[in-house]
Structure 1
């Protein structure tokens, strides 16, 4: 059997996700169940291609793809796709793909602009703490992306008739996904500090990416506190979920572009 090159697999996955996102948008706009089912089929095909591409990348580099911004984004997008698939089975929220799939396309499209060749890990990245740090970040950001998708749907359809998911259920899902992602975001900070001490000899250096990861953690910590203490819910809670994910995106991409620091592998 001849394996397709990594680039071909990623490009095929990107195109398949793009087709799926268009179908999801059509399903949402016209409330067409058939388009939704077809979009789900293309999504599954895109995820299969994405998985094959990650396997090819891992074989080419001789390690899991955790070593650069490009590799983190493609793994994050894969993790988001898997979490979304699980969410569809558990909560029947297929229509969230109207937000999730465009996010996949945008992130993977950006990843292609910062693509790096597969190769061996530099010494600073040869640590088990790196793998734990990245894995925790993938799960945290994935859950926060799902909370963002639920929040966007909530804000869009608030009070409208004929919706796919009720406002009440979307509000609960926002809370559920943030609550699920927060422990992993905490692990991002903890494992990052341990890794920093191992590599740089200091637990915390106020590097821009460290600082913005902490800001992101604080935003979600405030949301969870007031959700429990004062029962924050509805439109305001959805807006906080949007702001939180905006912080995630800035931490992941904005800091790299505008505030480069030690996290520049």
Structure 2
């Protein structure tokens, strides 16, 4: 837990982004829709600048908290784009809260420097994995929106709050799942076929550790979800539950393993 390892510029950008996220998270109703959107957009821009500085502007570091921070930023990117197409999307306060939390964690736990023996292709490999994380996280967000909208319809079936239709949310959720599954497959293939090249000569070509076991299990769950959708028309709560299981396993695969190593065991990896 080292704030001192972050540069002053990174600390300033991160603090500014966290404050900007906190405003719509804590005062969304008093701000109004337009002001909350503008503040969330400002926070998203500052968050992106902080990520770019931490990864490109100084010695690259990576770990469980930066991975979470990038994942949340990617989810917010999807939300920023979708909110232009579907202005009735209402998840600003929740996403802003996650954004603030992710930045604080990344400042407290900035991760470790990339190994000197690693391949220059390793960042691309990690980028594929993190992009898959972001797409699945966006799918989870849409699953949560589906569950919330369905619950609201059951409790007040006569009311129409102008939200995004359930079928639209479901379609978007499965699109994110499909895209994430493709990237996760590419990430696993790259790690399996080129692991020794990516991580250096001292890295074993393949080893059964917690990260790979949980990641493979998540890949199987997502494959079952997509097959269930294609063959048996899975939808609604069943699809969302399976999505949650796969996302939980994927979270344990990298973020969970790195959290144990970096924080609980205090090991540099």
Instruction: Give TM class, smaller chain.
Output: 0.7 to 0.9
Mean Cα displacement is larger for which, 193-202 or 149-158? 193-202
Residue of structure 1 aligned with 2:246, choices 244, 247, 252: 244
Q: 1:195 to 1:220 in 2, by over 3 A?
A: same
Q: Which has the higher contact order (CA 8 A, sep 6+)?
A: 2
Q: Distance in 1 between matches of 2:224 and 2:94?
A: 24
Contact 1:66-1:72 at 8 Å conserved across structures: no
1:162 is the counterpart of 2:160: yes
Task: Give me the CA root mean square deviation.
Answer: 2.9
SS in 2 for 1:123: coil
Q: Kindly provide the CA deviation profile for residues 105-163 of structure 1, in whole angstroms up to 9, marking residues without a partner as x.
A: 3333332331258x6x42233431x1222111222111111111111111122124334
Aligned to 1:21: 25
Matches within 5 A, 1:41-190: 41-62=38-59, 65=60, 67-92=62-87, 94-116=89-111, 121-128=114-121, 130-158=122-150, 159=153, 160=156, 161-163=159-161, 164-190=163-189
Q: Distance in 1 between matches of 2:245 and 2:25?
A: 23
Contact 2:125-2:187 at 8 Å conserved across structures: yes
Per the TM alignment, residue 184 of structure 1 is displaced from its structure 2 partner at its CA by: 0.8
TM-score by length of 2: 0.80
SS in 1 for 2:206: coil
TM-score by length of 1: 0.81
Q: 1:59 to 1:37 in 2, by over 3 A?
A: same
Q: Distance in 2 between matches of 1:88 and 1:125?
A: 39
| Structure 2 runs not aligned, ≥5 long | 1-6
| Structure 1 runs not aligned, ≥5 long | 28-33
SS in 2 for 1:213: helix
Aligned to 2:212: 210
